[in-house]
A = this chain, B = another copy of it.
Amino acid sequence: MPFEDIGFAKLDHHRAVRCGFPEVIYCLGKTPAQVAELFDRSAATGLNVLATRASAEVFAAVTARQPHAEYSDIARTITLRHTESERVGGTIAIVSAGTSDMPVAEEARITAEVMDQRTEVFYDVGVAGIHRLLAQSEALQRANVAVVVAGMEGALASVVGGLVACPVIAVPTSTGYGASFGGLSALLAMLNSCASGVSVVNIDNGFGAGYTAAMINKRCVASTDGG
């Protein structure tokens, strides 16, 4: 059965086979009851489940049926891990510029981990005090892929891109005001990065970056063999 029609949605059960991971539940524009229903059906497949952009109210509806589901306040994700798969191989570096970029960085980290990948975080290392980043450059070099999260002028993606040999997934955030135009400044900056190997996802799309990074990392041999 390639998909299941439950009225307000058509569940793509075939997706895990085709794409390697089940459909993720995006909570915006869905009622708590709808999310809970979708979460239940996903949980029934025996695979890990992830819901993003979930409010506390949505989590309440989900946890009523799935008591093992976990909520992250800061990332606004709900996760259910059936079995803690052994995480092997290389790591994904999650790098962020400032404290206010942390919700997006955490969404990326949790997404990668629910897909059974190992992560290492490097937070608050924005370019205004670049020694904080340079102090970690050896650790950064160990990653198979780096997720770089930054708002405002988004310069961190280019600087990291110039320091490492692995692909960089850049996530612009809506952090900032005025001429940041809701993240547009960081988005354009990242798209125009002078460093090679930087690709970009939507503003505040920590999920998309974590997902792409996980896709890359799971195909990699251990980082000691990489590069």
Contacts of A123 in B (CB 8 A): 8, 10
A132-B12 CB under 8 A given contacts A19-B164, A98-B194: yes
The range of chain A's interface size is: 35 or more
Q: A85 in the interface, Cβ–Cβ < 8 Å? A: no
| B219-A202 in contact (CB<8A) | no
Chain A, residues 195-210, CB within 8 Å of chain B (1/0): the string is 1111111111101110
**16 cross-chain CB contacts under 8 A:** A10-B125, A20-B227, A127-B194, A128-B195, A129-B162, A130-B159, A144-B219, A152-B192, A159-B159, A176-B192, A178-B187, A179-B184, A180-B188, A187-B191, A199-B212, A216-B216
Chain A interfacial positions (CB closer than 8 Å to B): 2-3, 8-10, 12, 14-15, 18-21, 23-24, 28-30, 34, 97-100, 102, 123-132, 134-135, 144-145, 151-155, 157-159, 161-167, 169, 172, 174-205, 207-209, 211-212, 215-216, 218-221, 226-227
Contacts beyond the supplied A155-B159, A189-B189: 4 A-B pairs with Cβ under 8 Å = A127-B162, A128-B194, A144-B219, A196-B212
